[in-house]
Amino acid sequence: MTTLDLPAAFADSPARALVCRECRHEVPLSPVHVCEQCFAPLEVGYDLDRMRQVTRKSIEAGPHSIWRYAGLLPAGQDLATRVDLGTGMTPLRKANNLGKALGMDNLWVKDDSANPTHSFKDRVVSVALSAARAFGYTTVSCASTGNLANSVAAHATQAGLRAVVFIPNDLEQGKVVQTAVYGQTLVAVEGNYDDVNRLCSEIAENEEWAFVNVNVRPYYAEGSKTLGYEVAEQLGWRLPQQVIIPMASGSLLTKVDKAFRELVTLDLVEASPVKVYGAQATGCSPIATAYENGWDTVRPVKPDTIARSLAIGNPADGPYALDAVRRSGGAMGHVSDAQVVEGIRLLASTEGLFAETAGGVTVATLRQLLERGQIDPTAETVLYNTGDGLKTLDAVAGEVGPTATIAPSYNAFTKTGLA
């Protein structure tokens, strides 16, 4: 494909080319994700002059969604191909109660459970499907640990695209139902996420489909940058001092870090250091384990954790997440499933915020980093909650329930001593 073939829908995109993350080889914008020279992942490269046309004012005048940052994203400038369910601009909540419980002075929670399908995946899917449409695809697909399936099915349906979604057959019922309800094609595969992903790579070679996390992954990944932009804007156009982020493939963490650096380059915020911290569940902690052991490579594991949305045993962006955390002076941690449940309950009982297991992982990891003196309790810190607790009810269903069960009489109630 030459630049002349670039679909018209990309005319106003600030994206310039796809660039290899290792050898820097460049190819024109197209639905590919691997470097033909060295097989490393490709990433979107931008025309900085075009990006510089974006100002705080132009952003603030934009829609109350991720699309206010369209001038900093690779796709979606063209309204005819933009896929928009109103994703983004989720609340940044001051978490004084949780902060107090943890001994922190200045803690915020960025609550991405408020997105249309209740997880951060709506951000990446909005951008991926906008790119897919711009390239002319009519069928979109993905391998998912659950949240991506929900999001792809919903966004494709609204955009008039066909979706074929692949999931491991042992997913939480909430995530299966929340995907199936849109009436798209849902295939449950007898295997774990890494098996599903391998299968999808094979299908991708034979079908003219846009796989959001395979052939259009470079565009997909850029959607996560909006979680960095929004926090900076919501803080009044400045960067936090510390952020703590859950990791599956590691992509989200690397893109939040990239977003902060872009904002500085574009003079949209003043330069100030941001330490980046990564969180995983011990039952699937290939990236945090590499960090702990000082390894540069990530050794694949077989996932076994209730935090299924983070259960990627062979994380594509693991080495880049390690780089980002080490470069920033942050750290990583991993926590047991019991600690994940405690984390969910701590966030709920302090902030009235019910997170899915990934949120529990992040809260519990923050507590661990504090206990180990690896994170500063006085620095302004943003914790990313990436999904809704209603998606993973099973994780806490056995732990909480009614305070009392009584006969419908006043006498029965007084006997409980609850008055």
Ligand X SMILES: *Cc1c(COP(=O)(O)O)cnc(C)c1O
Binding residues for Zn ion, rule: CB under 5 A, are 20, 22-23, 25, 35, 37-38, 40
Q: Which residues pair with 94 in a beta bridge?
A: 108
Nearest CA to 386 out of 193, 216, 256 is that of 256
Select from ligand X, Zn ion, none the partner in contact with residue 25, using the beta carbon and a kind-dependent cut-off of 5 to 8 Å.
Answer: Zn ion
| 119 near ligand X (CB under 6 A) | yes
C-alpha of 241 from chain center: 20
Minimum CB distance to Zn ion smaller for 26 or for 292: 26
Minimum CB distance to ligand X smaller for 54 or for 259: 259
Number of H helices, E strands in the chain: 16, 13
Contact with ligand X (CB under 6 A) among 66, 85, 161, 252: 252
Minimum distance from residue 331 beta carbon to ligand X (Å): 17
Contact with ligand X (CB under 6 A) among 147, 282, 285, 368: 147
**Cβ(343)–Cβ(305) below 8 Å:** no
Select from ligand X, Zn ion, none the partner in contact with residue 249, using the beta carbon and a kind-dependent cut-off of 5 to 8 Å.
Answer: ligand X
Minimum CB distance to ligand X smaller for 51 or for 245: 245
Select from ligand X, Zn ion, none the partner in contact with residue 387, using the beta carbon and a kind-dependent cut-off of 5 to 8 Å.
Answer: ligand X
**Cβ(380)–Cβ(241) below 8 Å:** yes
**Cβ(73)–Cβ(127) below 8 Å:** yes
Minimum CB distance to Zn ion smaller for 23 or for 271: 23
| 249 near ligand X (CB under 6 A) | yes
- The 3-state DSSP class for residue 297 equals coil
Contact with ligand X (CB under 6 A) among 88, 218, 319, 387: 387
Token output for 188: 């449950």
| 247 near ligand X (CB under 6 A) | yes
Minimum distance from residue 180 beta carbon to Zn ion (Å): 39
Give the number of C-alpha atoms closer than 13 A to the C-alpha of residue 232, restricted to the C-beta side: 29
Select from Zn ion, ligand X, none the partner in contact with residue 35, using the beta carbon and a kind-dependent cut-off of 5 to 8 Å.
Answer: Zn ion
| 309 near ligand X (CB under 6 A) | yes
Minimum CB distance to ligand X smaller for 34 or for 59: 34
Phi and psi based region of residue 352 (left: phi greater than 0; alpha: psi -120 to 50; beta: remaining): left
Q: How far apart, in whole angstroms, are the C-alpha atoms of residue 297 and residue 378?
A: 32
Minimum distance from residue 10 beta carbon to ligand X (Å): 24
| 226 near ligand X (CB under 6 A) | no
**Cβ(20)–Cβ(26) below 8 Å:** yes
Select from Zn ion, ligand X, none the partner in contact with residue 247, using the beta carbon and a kind-dependent cut-off of 5 to 8 Å.
Answer: ligand X
Select from Zn ion, ligand X, none the partner in contact with residue 38, using the beta carbon and a kind-dependent cut-off of 5 to 8 Å.
Answer: Zn ion
**Cβ(27)–Cβ(17) below 8 Å:** yes
Q: How far apart, in whole angstroms, are the C-alpha atoms of residue 126 and residue 317?
A: 20
Q: How far apart, in whole angstroms, are the C-alpha atoms of residue 143 and residue 133?
A: 19
Q: How far apart, in whole angstroms, are the C-alpha atoms of residue 134 and residue 6?
A: 9
Q: Which residues fall within 8 angstroms of residue 202, CB to CB, at 6 or more apart?
A: none
Phi and psi based region of residue 118 (left: phi greater than 0; alpha: psi -120 to 50; beta: remaining): left
Q: Which residues pair with 246 in a beta bridge?
A: 279
Minimum distance from residue 42 beta carbon to Zn ion (Å): 8
Minimum CB distance to Zn ion smaller for 27 or for 379: 27
Size of residue set near ligand X by CB under 6 A: 17
Minimum CB distance to Zn ion smaller for 317 or for 356: 317
Minimum CB distance to ligand X smaller for 268 or for 366: 366
| 149 near ligand X (CB under 6 A) | no
The residue ranges that bind ligand X (CB under 6 A) are 119-121, 147, 246-252, 309-310, 356, 358, 386-387
